[in-house]
Amino acid sequence: MAPSKKKHAKTTEACVIPGGFTVLSLQFNSDSEAQHKLYVKEHKVRAERSSHRPLDRTLFVLNIPPYCSQDVIKELFSQFGSVQSVELGDHPGSFQQSGPRLSRVFRPAEKQGFKVGYVVFQNSSGVTEAKSHPNNVPLIVSTGEHPVKTGVHKWIQQYTQSFTESDKLQKIVDSFMEDYDKRKEEESERQKQEAEQQQEDEEGWVKVTKGNKSTKARPHSEAANQKAIQREMRKKQRKELMNFYTWQHRNTQKEHIAELRKKFEEDKQKISLLRAQRKFRPY
């Protein structure tokens, strides 16, 4: 049978798959034949009421390849409308950093892999335009105006950018030390003022000032502070020794009661023996 000469018509409609996701074709450059698929959907998580992800202007994106950074995603989706912000992460949800914040000079290594993202548009029409984009019109990642480097060229670029210029690093260090010296001077000045307020007058009186609401009131003399600290330390050590375990505390109480009873019986025997040995009997 001869093959049919009828050509398949190219669809100009958006491709929507089960789950409400719209499929967007992604092409690295205009000469590339391979295409990658992005899955986009309007962000409608009612439990997440954060101001940086408005429900009517946020687009949820899945299957973002590793060579697409935040700037690349922002440039790709800018054709649908003005993009306000882009967030990329390994899993859906909050991308807030859980650990301590590091300096902008020392950045942790990023995980390489496919990511999920949230694209926030300035207007809600951007979400509608992205969802109605036809599947047969791919989005071009690397263009002449905005080239994207991959492979060895990308590694060389990242390695070069990992070094910080000595002048910039020196400015950051100087700024940090200036802030540190300023905080130390303010702290020493505050301690000096407190010491002056706590000095005893000629008659031995100490001026008591009202402290902050968050701090507990305590005596304003050094001797009283030392006594209070020693008293608390002795109390804490005694409590740790006596109440290290509940069963130890109970056994200690039982042994103490048994010792008192034993001493009571010994005292009774001594009293009875003294009465028996008494020689003077007036009757």
Q: Is residue 194 part of a domain?
A: no
User: What is the chain's mean pLDDT, rounded?
Assistant: 78
Per the domain annotation, does 91 fall within a domain? yes
Residues 143, 238: one domain? no
User: For position 198, what pLDDT does the model report?
Assistant: 63
Residue 206 lies in a domain: no
Same domain, 143 and 231: no
- With respect to residue 184, please indicate whether it lies within any of the assigned structural domains: no
3-class DSSP state for residue 131?
A: helix
pLDDT of residue 6: 43
Q: String of b and e for 13-37 (b: at least 16 CB within 10 Å)?
A: eebeeeeebbebbbbbeeeeeeebb
CA 70 to each of CA 86, 119, 196: distance values in angstroms, whole numbers, following the listed order = 6, 9, 56
- The structural domain count of the chain equals 2
In this predicted model, which residue has the larger pLDDT, 87 or 47? 87
Which residues are registered as beta bridge partners of 64?
A: 115
- What confidence tens digit (pLDDT) does each residue in 145-194 have? 888 877 788 778 778 877 778 888 888 888 889 999 999 999 988 888 87
Residues 26 and 145 in one domain: yes
Q: Residue 164: inside a domain, yes or no? A: no
For 213-237, how does the pLDDT look when each residue is reduced to its tens digit (9 = 90+)? 555 555 456 667 777 888 888 887 7
Q: In terms of domains, do 136 and 230 share one?
A: no
What pLDDT, on a 0 to 100 scale, did the predictor assign at position 158? 75
Q: Give the residue numbers spanning the domain of 270.
A: 226-276
Domain assignment present for residue 143? The answer is yes
Model confidence at 261, pLDDT cuts 50, 70, 90, reads very high
Distance (Å, whole) CA 55 – CA 124: 9
For residues 25 and 136, state if they share a domain: yes
| Whether residue 117 is found in the same domain as residue 231 | no
Regarding whether 128 and 32 lie in a shared domain, the answer is yes
* Cβ contacts of 178 within 8 Å, gap of 6 or more: none
- Does residue 82 fall inside a structural domain? yes
DSSP letters for 20-86: TEEEEEEESSTT----EEEEEEE---TT---TTS-TTTEEEEEEE-TT--HHHHHHHHTTTS-EEEE
The pair of structure tokens assigned to 70 is 């935040």
Among 46, 48, 42, CA closest to 121:
42
The three-state secondary structure class of 16 is strand
pLDDT average, residue stretch 95-106: 55
CATH no. for residue 68?
Answer: 3.30.70.330
Q: How far is CA 150 from CA 4, 28, 82, 141, in A?
A: 42, 10, 27, 11
Region 21-37: mean pLDDT is 87
Burial of 124 (0-12, 13-18, 19+ CB in 10 A): middle
Does a structural domain hold residue 57? yes
